[in-house]
A and B are shown apart, each in its own frame.
Chain A
Amino acid sequence: AQKITQTQPGMFVQEKEAVTLDCTYDTSDPSYGLFWYKQPSSGEMIFLIYQGSYDQQNATEGRYSLNFQKARKSANLVISASQLGDSAMYFCAMREGNFGNEKLTFGTGTRLTIIP
């Protein structure tokens, strides 16, 4: 089974609208962390937001928020008031276990295009 599933290969959103990018995960480890990264055409991966499995509240970072539904094993990224500069690939990733296992498992990504 895929550890990280992103079912939306591509999305087109009107500028200034909110957008939700889906991510579901699969792990039997009670301790894990979930990440979202943005990859513009220049290639670098830019860290956006992190959610720990024991965090009680959904993570927020500026216009980014993570809709964490633990029972459903989903960690959707919500971008509010989208901007043209948000056009990029977005990857969901997971780190399993406690700090010590540092490697990330990534999904296949969603290409987001913001339409002016």
Chain B
Amino acid sequence: GAGVSQSPRYKVAKRGQDVALRCDPISGHVSLFWYQQALGQGPEFLTYFQNEAQLDKSGLPSDRFFAERPEGSVSTLKIQRTQQEDSAVYLCASSLASEGGVYGYTFGSGTRLTVV
């Protein structure tokens, strides 16, 4: 597609539920990122893929968070046993390898997760 597509746009989960958030990057984009944006804050890095390889997962806040990109295109961020502090907007971004470092990354509109 023309942009980075994320689904669902909104997700309400009961505390303790598992959720899966999907990201469709721009076709051909090698690099894919997940960021978490709490209310009133800037995005915080979660994890980074180059093709199917997860090169950096240093930002994942706990072992309840898991991301995958098995075929190097679509990525899924999974959160197990959701907690209230997981409530945030989850942003996905993609770029053409290192060009992202100069031309910026293309972000999706995000998934707003609310844990009740």
Q: What mask results when residues 76 to 116 of chain A are scored 1 for a CB within 8 Å of chain B, else 0?
A: 00000000000000010101000110111111110000000
Picked from A45, A102, A105, A107, the residue with its CB within 8 Å of the CB of B31 is: A102
Residues in B34-67 with C-beta less than 8 Å from chain A? 35, 40-45, 48, 56, 59
CA distance A24 to B107 in the complex (A): 23
Flag whether A47 is at the interface (Cβ < 8 A): yes
A47 with B109: in contact, given A91-B42, A105-B45 (CB under 8 Å)?
A: no
User: How far is A82 from B83 in the complex, measured between Cα atoms in Å?
Assistant: 41
**Chain A residues positioned under 8 Å from B43 (CB to CB):** 45, 91, 104, 106
B70 at the interface (CB under 8 A from A): no
In this complex, which of A33, A43, A100, A106 has the most chain B Cβ atoms within 10 angstroms of its Cβ?
A43
Question: Which A-chain residue is minimally distant from B44 (CB atoms)?
Answer: A106
- Number of B residues whose C-beta is below 8 Å from A? 29
Beta-carbon contact of B105 and A104 below 8 Å: yes
Q: Would A95 and B101 count as touching, CB distance under 8 A?
A: yes
With A45-B93, A108-B41 known to touch, is A102 a contact of B109 (CB < 8 Å)? Answer: no
Best-buried of A35, A102, A103 by chain B (most CB within 10 Å): A102
A104 CA / B101 CA spacing, docked (Å): 9
Instruction: Output the nearest chain A residue to B106 by Cβ-Cβ distance.
Output: A47
| Chain A positions 54-91 with a Cβ under 8 Å from a chain B Cβ | 91
> Please, how many angstroms separate the alpha-carbon atoms of A103 and B103 in the complex?
14
Assess whether B110 is in contact with A43, with CB atoms less than 8 Å apart: yes
Q: Is B98 an interface residue (CB 8 A)?
A: yes
